[in-house]
Structure 1
């Protein structure tokens, strides 16, 4: 099978939006990107990001903040966008994703505020103390394709698993064997299953595609995102990404997840922080 390319892949088709009228797009939330019955938050963020990219004069997301208001379900959706401000190097917009409930009433699922620019125009100067996560090579990490392993069985248990090739660092996979480390850490290699290389839009998916750190803290069950902010720092080089997520504080039933995404050239290409609700007790 030929490797999918940017613009011609399952991810691109499933995040496509169709203009209905100025500021309004129609979309179809695919069941292929679900966890249990809910649509993955990173997939929703990428779809809203695509709609904003079509109405703003700049093409690349720099900062995207989303509030998840209600759980999305597969099926038709509508995205309303508004251009808030346009500038020479940065433009700001907002988007609202809605669906109809069983009574035909419109329900808002997601609200986004984002800043867009041109990643290719940024200077090359990098001054950082950040380092790529230390983890085994791609081939030595554990994924859904290891069907004879507890980790592979659990990773492959959701619809979204068929769209992704996630290879967990064994040091953060104890939860799948009933032996969570107690540390709020999750590390993995990440790429789309059809071989499509990453781009700024798919980085919005990558920051929310790993199992929640709560699992490795010994907490099971759904961990819904309340708010997520992603910063896209550079266009990623071809090849698998490395994603490292940490949680330092769980209090009052809420935890934060801080994510870093590194490309094959050891560049920090995306960062995010999200607040999520842990199902305790």
Structure 2
């Protein structure tokens, strides 16, 4: 009996692993194909690409535990594209430093137009990439606790575009355009608003404060305070009381228009600064001339 059992054990067939059908998965080859297609998307040549194929590339990489390779590769490609756009489309349009108001306004408008175009292109690219990387965002980014595709795009735009010296030149251009319009020149308000929207879309700290709130708004308020203080002093020194009040009302209407253009500029702060600067002096003037007027609170 023992001999028979031993013979049976020796003669038992070994179970072999099933043969795999189809080619072996290669993370390097898959990423190479996907990276080439991502570059095509960034170059606005996505019309001939297959959404299903690219989605499958990304899906297989995450499924085969290569999510980190996919994510880091995407991050590198987006950063490279933004650096190229900054060097090719924005930096060459920095203002020349001219003091001619009309030439300066044109140069500032060209810079702001370039920034707006780069932003629009980048956002459109990230939307397309997010569509083919949905599985990565749903599985890998949550597990690895890293920003999803769209949030990654915003962070990289802030790092590679809204940086020195681009950041300073863009802010100077926005302030110059406000100054030019106050001085009677015509500017492209839609371009201005588009660039302000960029600053409103980017978060600059861990508390959720936007770049607009941290950097642009304080500069605009400071510029506005300086302008209206100077304007008020000039009016007081050169105008009669009725003309001063008429000009004051016109200035407040201008500030309301700038509030609409820049969206987040607190109009009441500008008006308050203007009244504090000018009204104490005009009160004395009106009292001496015994003129009764209604003053806004």
TM-score, L = length of structure 1: 0.24
Task: From the two aligned structures, give the one with the greater helix fraction.
Answer: 2
Greater percentage in strand: 1
Rg larger in structure: 2
